[in-house]
Structure 1
Amino acid sequence: MDKTKRICLWSGPRNISTALMYSFAQRKDTTVVDEPLYAHYLTSTDADEYHPGAEDVIADQHNDGERVVREVILGDYETPVVFFKHMTHHLVDLDWSFMKDTINLILTRDPRDMLPSYAKQVNQPAMRDVGYAKHLELLEYLQSIGQQPMVIDSKQVLMDPKGKLTEICHGLGIPFDEAMLSWEAGARPEDGVWADHWYHNVHRSTGFKPYTPKTEPFPEHLKELLKECQPIYHRLIGKS
């Protein structure tokens, strides 16, 4: 019987998912894995045409998503807990039934905060890039197979890291570890090859930064996408 606790964090981009991965990496009982389905996503769509560093990702990872599921997500590990950081929009052309064998969390963020941050790397993002619709599809799928995944709002983690991490760990059936609240600045060996393009802020951090609302005007070219994302975000976090 497989006793490995496989935690899949399904996130959108720019959602403190890397900080959460760094947090779980501080646990002695946990192995962390960074976005194992990224190359699969790039080779299954045309996203390789505009994602920074796409050629390096495709060369570095298995491109076959089903192989990644078999050998990485459902593979063997020496630690009793494995934490997989995923982007929800990477779930293309895959059989999702492997999630019956994983504990699944959904991480979201207010699109008013997320979209301007993401557009600094991808100037003209579309819904498929930012993951909100896929989040909702994933939530409905997980509920259809009898799971009730925790939906985490990144803002709540930043406002109370210890309290929220304690709640998350309780939901996962693992004890909270104080070590999860801080880490050394700089890169980690588990970082994907895309870290140079995306991880500048987390590499400068030593813990969860306090939440600060954005003050600059919302970019005009993102307003239509914001209209699409906001109602989905509110459904995800339980607002009407």
Structure 2
Amino acid sequence: MLATSLLQTWGVQVAIATDGQQALELASSHPYDLLLMDIQMPLRTGLEVTADLRATPNPNQQTPIIALTANAMPAEVQTFSQHGFTDFLIKPYHEADLYRLLVRTLGRTDVAPDLPQPTYDFSQLGRLAHDAAFIRKMQQLFLDTVPGQLHALKSAVSHGHWTTAGQLIHSLKSTYGSMQMAEAIRCLQRLEQALQPPVTAAAPLMSLLELLGAITSRTVELFADHLRQPLPDQPPPAA
């Protein structure tokens, strides 16, 4: 009901299957742009339905299929791509997660209104949280370091350098934690879980990195815009 409500709000036409057998029947007879496939369904599981769709000629044999699961165990996540899934989404999820998945999978940017800006909170800094000049230094430090660290993390994951990836994740957790950015912290925690040995596939990790990249990009834009504004006690720069 949640997914349907969000999708319909964004103007997406939705067909609903109440069990795995009906999901297979619908997908075998009607073409869709995207399939959101629950892993646990009555009659037939999402794994079984996806395997059948990938193995036999049908209108959705090549259609992107997204696994929906409440089980975020690393071993299960790593098997999704092997079972024919394009990507996955872990429940419960924020509407921003679903939207970014649609954009990333379909290349569409016209299916939803603007997403809320990322939330951050410098209150852990104590009295410094009220020091406007210091906060600007923190924001500039974020702009100078975090995009580069994220790029290095993506490179480490793509090349299978798991120890380096773990070190970068630990560093980024400290950075996002100091700003209490819950969405980014959850993403990093899921990355940390997915890096538990043995790591057999980079695809699930790259999917999580795409999400973290989107969060970081929005934060960079927000901080850059803030830094362009003069401090409250300073006159605007001369033209």
Short-chain TM bin: 0.3 to 0.5
Normalising to structure 1: TM-score of the pair? 0.34
Q: Radius of gyration: which is bigger?
A: 2
Higher helix share: 2
Structure possessing the higher relative contact order (Cα contacts under 8 Å, 6 or more residues apart): 1
Normalising to structure 2: TM-score of the pair? 0.34
Higher strand share: 1
